[in-house]
Amino acid sequence: MTVITELDTPAVLIDLDRAEANLRKAQAFADGAGLKLRPHIKTHKLPRFAQAAIDLGAVGITVQKLGEAEVMADAGITDMLLTFNIIGAAKLQRLRALNERVTIRVVADSAECVAGLSATFAGGKPLGVLVECDTGMGRCGVQSPGAALALAQTIIASPGLEFFGLMTYPAAGKYKAAAQWLAEAKALFEASGIAVPIITTGGTPDIWHADEAGVATEYRPGTYIYMDRSQVAAGAASYDDCALTVLATVVSHPTPGRAIIDAGSKALTSDLLGLVGHGYIPAYPDAKIVGLSEEHGTLDVSGCADGGPVIGEQIAIIPNHCCPVTNLFDHVHLVRGGQLVETVAVAARGRVD
Amino acid sequence: MTVITELDTPAVLIDLDRAEANLRKAQAFADGAGLKLRPHIKTHKLPRFAQAAIDLGAVGITVQKLGEAEVMADAGITDMLLTFNIIGAAKLQRLRALNERVTIRVVADSAECVAGLSATFAGGKPLGVLVECDTGMGRCGVQSPGAALALAQTIIASPGLEFFGLMTYPAAGKYKAAAQWLAEAKALFEASGIAVPIITTGGTPDIWHADEAGVATEYRPGTYIYMDRSQVAAGAASYDDCALTVLATVVSHPTPGRAIIDAGSKALTSDLLGLVGHGYIPAYPDAKIVGLSEEHGTLDVSGCADGGPVIGEQIAIIPNHCCPVTNLFDHVHLVRGGQLVETVAVAARGRVD
């Protein structure tokens, strides 16, 4: 077996024990809360982890891009929710092809989007559509329960489409507002005699409040499999839960207080997510990653009692945000007990469209 | 020919007329300043543009990673400078293999780095090494002209290595300080009887001040081929010079003032480079890209007199920083006069190590 210190850097390491524990913990929590789990694969982009979550009890997966859905369908995943408005002729034809071979449902938040879906699916195998609801995130989504009802009625009246429910991605920390929004919407739908088979919400930051998701039937966490520094900051994880690290090498130490590593924004991304600095180094908790160029990371090691890492030393970094990190690497290294188990291609990496 | 509005989005478009004009303009300016040009390929990662710059008069290319050097060597580029400290057994062996087939020189800023290089190259084909100098960037590099001289003397005394000169990446706007630093170093080297064949500096932000680079013999711009919003902010380009755009589609318009596009941080990156917002939209100069999720971009279109783009409309975005954008896409689309000429794989994309 290869010990991980023999890997060329920068490299992404996935601690399998931690990732598997994170999958199990979330499934158990969802079971306890009476929620179905539909994990988002954007974080790992690996069919094996999509399947692992399903084997533990997940009802299917969530994808954000058609390209991700195509990779997962090719790998044998048969039930997915695509939480993105599909717009334009090219994408609609790809969606139609996917709908012929797997169960795939999508969201819509406008009459324009619904019209495109209906024109594509009329006369063929029907497509399941959920109404995306803006419950506080300020991104996509209809703006009120009444608007959700109106769009659902449009979907119901549209050839080729079947209304399947409501979807939201709540703003972090605003799960109570989201729950209230969805409860009002469900009451409105019921008063109108429209069944709402699925009410799906999500987000790793508030995953341990999923039991307070009210009328929701389904939860869609993504980051939970790996966790990261932003999730630790949100209180959703500890550093000991973090399964993904970026292994880097100290390549320069120009001053006593400054060390330079070979991981910059092309390895760690520039995502700050409200944090200061660009990652956490468990072996040197007093070292700060104060700056990133594309291929260099600048460490302030002036606070390290032992002087910090030396030139040539490899250090593992918990990034601010693990999801875009896996999108930068063609391969990740699966590790157990400090030993390399397998190096795998990130199958859905770069599936941007 | 395909008109670009038929492309699936998000997609990267390269305007060939603009890119070629940028290459020509920089070469002419360097010629006028008596400087050799050694363009950095990190921006485009394409052998064809590396070769195009050489055909115009560049003396070779600059690369930041061994993986980039390997791709360029495979494509027939024969002269390159790797501006990164090479540390560790795996990388040293790859560097040795490269040195057997092309002219490749590297930098070093520490005795540890030089020792590793010497141990690898002693007894074989010698390796050319430049001393990296920190002239104000605060990243890698020796801290004083005296330290540069001392390290050069170490290189000269090290079997397998040949001292080739000084390299710096100056902080943007600090080209005068860098020029003074290098002039002092050159005087010190001359007083010690040590020739300095190459003094290489770089950076697109100050490229039109390259004629003020003093004792420098060589300039290494990267971003200049595509330019971007950060270079416009730095005064190095106008928006009409920007050759790279990210084509995105409006997928949602949840409120009159908010539009959502299908390009988020996985297309535009989170790089701010001191700017506010995440890009510039030439067709809608009053639209602001106020937020990015991984796959969504949020536009504030409240300032658009005409209401801004509608659902389904494709818009081209000049990103804050073009270099990491090309690192996110497997392919870019080469365009001339609004027509798609060719879609090419980004050969050195993701060559992180």
Domain spans in chain B, listed from the N-terminal domain onward: 4-11+237-345, 17-226
CA-based torsion, B156, B158, B159, B164: positive or negative: negative
- CB within 8 Å: A260 and B350: no
- B85, B267, B327: residue with CB nearest A251: B85
- As to burial, measured by CB atoms within 10 angstroms (0-12 exposed, 13-18 middle, 19+ buried), residue A143 is middle
Q: Are A11 and A246 in contact (CB under 8 A)?
A: yes
User: For the domain bounded by B17-226, which CATH number is listed?
Assistant: 3.20.20.10
B272 inside 8 A of chain A by CB: yes
- CB within 8 Å: A324 and B294: yes
Given this model, what pLDDT does residue B3 score?
57
Given this model, what pLDDT does residue B1 score?
42
Scan residues 81-110 of A and list those with Cβ closer than 8 Å to B.
Answer: 84-85, 87-88, 90-91, 109-110
pLDDT tens-digit profile, chain B (353 residues): 455 667 899 999 999 999 999 999 999 999 999 999 999 999 999 999 999 999 999 999 999 999 999 999 999 999 999 999 999 999 999 999 999 999 999 999 999 999 999 999 999 999 999 999 999 999 999 999 999 999 999 999 999 999 999 999 999 999 999 999 999 999 999 999 999 999 999 999 999 999 999 999 999 999 999 999 999 999 999 999 999 999 999 999 999 999 999 999 999 999 999 999 999 999 999 999 999 999 999 999 999 998 899 999 999 999 999 999 999 999 999 999 989 999 999 999 999 89
Q: Amino acid identity, residue A126?
A: P
pLDDT tens-digit map of A214-259: 999 999 999 999 999 999 999 999 999 999 999 999 999 999 999 9
> b vs e for B272-285, b when ≥16 Cβ sit within 10 Å of the residue's Cβ?
eeeeebbbbbeebe
Given this model, what pLDDT does residue A1 score?
42
Given this model, what pLDDT does residue B121 score?
98
- A265, A311, A328: residue with CB nearest B87: A311
Residues of A in contact with B10 (CB under 8 A): 352-353
d(CA B274, CA B290): 14
Residues of B in contact with A138 (CB under 8 A): 258, 291, 298
pLDDT confidence of A83, banded at 50, 70, 90?
A: very high
- CB within 8 Å: B112 and A312: yes
Given this model, what pLDDT does residue A27 score?
98
Cα atoms in the Cβ-side hemisphere of radius 13 Å centred on A56: 25
Q: Closest chain B residue to A7 measured between Cα atoms?
A: B90
Report ipTM for this prediction.
Answer: 0.97
Residues of A in contact with B69 (CB under 8 A): none
Please give the backbone phi and psi of residue B163, each rounded to the nearest 5 degrees, phi first. -80, 125
pLDDT tens-digit map of A196-211: 999 999 999 999 999 9
Scan residues 121-160 of B and list those with Cβ closer than 8 Å to A.
Answer: 134, 138-143
Given this model, what pLDDT does residue A296 score?
98
Q: What is the DSSP letter of B3?
A: B
B290 inside 8 A of chain A by CB: no
The candidate with the shortest Cα–Cα distance to A265, out of B24, B323, B172, is B323
Given the candidates 3.90.1300.10, 3.20.20.70, 3.30.470.20, 3.20.20.10, the CATH classification of the domain at A19-225 is 3.20.20.10
- CB within 8 Å: A328 and B329: no
Residues of B in contact with A116 (CB under 8 A): 312
User: Which bin fits B93, alpha (ψ -120 to 50), beta or left (φ > 0)?
Assistant: alpha
Tokens 């921006």 correspond to: B43
Q: What is the DSSP letter of B142?
A: B
pLDDT confidence of A126, banded at 50, 70, 90?
A: very high
Q: Are B274 and B340 in contact (CB under 8 A)?
A: no
Residues of A in contact with B64 (CB under 8 A): 294-295
Strand A258-261 and strand A244-255: pairing?
Answer: antiparallel
Q: Closest chain A residue to B93 measured between Cα atoms?
A: A8
Q: Closest chain A residue to B91 measured between Cα atoms?
A: A8
Scan residues 174-213 of A and list those with Cβ closer than 8 Å to B.
Answer: none
d(CA A188, CA A131): 14
Given this model, what pLDDT does residue A6 score?
75
d(CA B320, CA B301): 19
Residues of A in contact with B138 (CB under 8 A): 258, 298
Given this model, what pLDDT does residue B6 score?
75
For every residue of B214-237, DSSP letters joined together read TT--EEE-SGGGT--HHHHHTTS-
Element (H, E) at A322: helix A322-326
- As to burial, measured by CB atoms within 10 angstroms (0-12 exposed, 13-18 middle, 19+ buried), residue A108 is buried
- B249, B252, B353: residue with CB nearest A110: B252
Question: Could you tell me which residues are beta bridge partners of residue A258?
Answer: A255, A300
Mutate to test the interface with B, among A266, A298, A327 (most CBs of B within 10 A): A266
Q: Are B12 and B246 in contact (CB under 8 A)?
A: yes
Residues of A in contact with B312 (CB under 8 A): 87-88, 112, 116
Torsion of CA B106, B326, B52, B245, to 10 degrees: -140
- B116, B269, B330: residue with CB nearest A350: B330
Please give the backbone phi and psi of residue A255, each rounded to the nearest 5 degrees, phi first. -135, 165
Given this model, what pLDDT does residue B5 score?
66
Mutate to test the interface with B, among A106, A139, A313, A340 (most CBs of B within 10 A): A139
Mean pLDDT rounded to a whole number for chain A: 97
Residues of B in contact with A141 (CB under 8 A): 252, 254
Instruction: Please list, in sequence order, all residues whose beta carbon lies within 8 angstroms of the beta carbon of residue A106, skipping any fewer than 6 positions away.
Output: A81, A82, A83, A84, A85, A86, A95, A117, A127, A128, A129, A130
SS3 of residue B17 by DSSP: helix
What's the fold here for domain A4-11+237-345?
Answer: Lyase, Ornithine Decarboxylase; Chain A, domain 1 (2.40.37)
% of chain A at pLDDT higher than 70? 99
- A90, A134, A352: residue with CB nearest B254: A134
Structure tokens belonging to residue B179: 């020029």
Cis peptide bond upstream of B170, omega within 30: no
Instruction: Please list, in sequence order, all residues whose beta carbon lies within 8 angstroms of the beta carbon of residue A75, skipping any fewer than 6 positions away.
Output: A47, A50, A51, A347
Instruction: Please list, in sequence order, all residues whose beta carbon lies within 8 angstroms of the beta carbon of residue B53, skipping any fewer than 6 positions away.
Output: B23, B27, B37, B39, B61, B225
Helix spans in chain B (H) = 16-33, 47-56, 66-74, 89-101, 111-121, 145-156, 175-191, 229-233, 265-268, 322-326
Helix spans in A229-318 (H) = 229-233, 265-268
Given this model, what pLDDT does residue B99 score?
98
- B252, B265, B327: residue with CB nearest A85: B252
- CB within 8 Å: A87 and B142: no
- CB within 8 Å: A267 and B352: yes
